Each structure stands twice: as structure tokens, then as C-alpha cells.
Amino acid sequence: MSVWIAIFGLLSGLVLMASMIPHQVRHIRLLSLVAGVLGIVYFALSEGLGAGLAFTTAYVLVNIGRLFELRRRARDGMMTREERELFDHVMQIEEPAQQSRLRDLMIWQDVGVGSQLITQGEADPPLIYIASGRAEIERDLAIVSECGAGEFLGEMSHVSGDRASATVTVTQDMRMARLDRDALGQLARGLPEVGKALDRAFNRSLAVKVLRMNESSR
């Protein structure tokens, strides 16, 4: 029995230390909850109904309450399906306050076939997220690739500061969000965890485009 007591105590401490690693509040709360549950088992086995068990139980209940609060705040934000997909799966940003800040920096719109979103050589091209629809990418008057739902446009120029490297034209009716580049840059500098999440999302989008272009050139 003493071996199991030691194991649960060690696991509780390790998980609690791991909860300091994530940047997203929800992940911190989840790991803290797991550490608390392991702590309850540890104190229940080692001292029964004591002060340690009482404090650890209170700690677990507080974390459960905070998790429900995060969930409620996210639900009450009345996000559209497109916004939820963007924040949860593409950007992977779960903190409601950060989601709200990002929502203020984007304008959603529908664009039809033939609309030109970006022109090759354009300075400071728009930064766009595609929720649905498709577009073709043209470079030096040649179609080199296409892009669709879940991808960004203009992310390379946003990161590098260079002019647009290609022209992008809508080929299938599109639902998209236009992001304020300057305000987004300021937000990323002020909230490093948001900046890292955006960098990861942009890198994934660029990787998909590069892979698609390599496949089409074979």
C-alpha cells in the first residue's frame, strides 16, 4: 500500500508541475484538475479524512468550477460556426478573452466567383482566412496552385513584410474573414501566447500550400 501511496503522490506532483507548461488557460485547468484528483487519492490512502484531503478536494472543486465558467463564457460569446472552427481547430486558441480580442480584428464577408483577393506585387496585401470556397493562385500569369477552407491568404507577406508573391482569384463562392494586419501584429506582441498560436496556424497553412504545389509540379 505504501508503494501506491508514493506513486499517487509523485504523479500528483508531476502533473501539477506540468500544468505550468501550457499557455492556454483551459489546458492549465485540466492538468490542475488531474493533479488534484491524484492528490485526493494520495491523501485518502495516506491519512484518511484529514486536512490534506479537505484542501485538495476544495482545490479540485474550484478547478471544476473554473472549467465550467470557461465553457459558459465561450458558449455565451455567440460565435458562429466559422468562428468556432477558426479559433478551436485552426488557431487553437481557447481562452475566451483572447478569442474576443481576435473577433474584434476581423470582418466576415461573402465573395463571388471571379473576385480578385490579392494581386501579385501588391504592397501590404490583405490577410484573409478562408472558411469555405476555393481560389486559384496565379504567379507570372501561370496557375501554380489553389487554396480552400481552413487556409490563410497573405500570411507570408504578413510575416515577411514583402509584397504579394501571387495573384489570388476566387473560383468557388467564398466565405472569408479579413483580418486587420496592423492590429493583429500589435495583439501578438502584447500577448505572446496568441502570437505563437498565430505563427503555428500560418506555418501549417504555408506547409499545405507548399505540399500542394510540389505535388502539382510532378
| C-alpha span between 182 and 134 (Å, rounded) | 26
pLDDT score of 217 more than 70: no
pLDDT at res. 46: 83
E-strand stretches of the chain = 106-111, 116-118, 127-139, 142-148, 152-153, 167-179
Of 186, 178, 198, 202, the closest CA to residue 106 belongs to 178
pLDDT category, 198, cuts 50, 70, 90?
very high
Residue spans of the domains in the chain: they are 2-76, 81-216
81-216, CATH topology level: Jelly Rolls (2.60.120)
Instruction: List pLDDT tens digits, range 109-162.
Output: 999 999 999 999 999 899 999 999 999 999 998 998 899 999 999 998 988 889
pLDDT at res. 81: 85
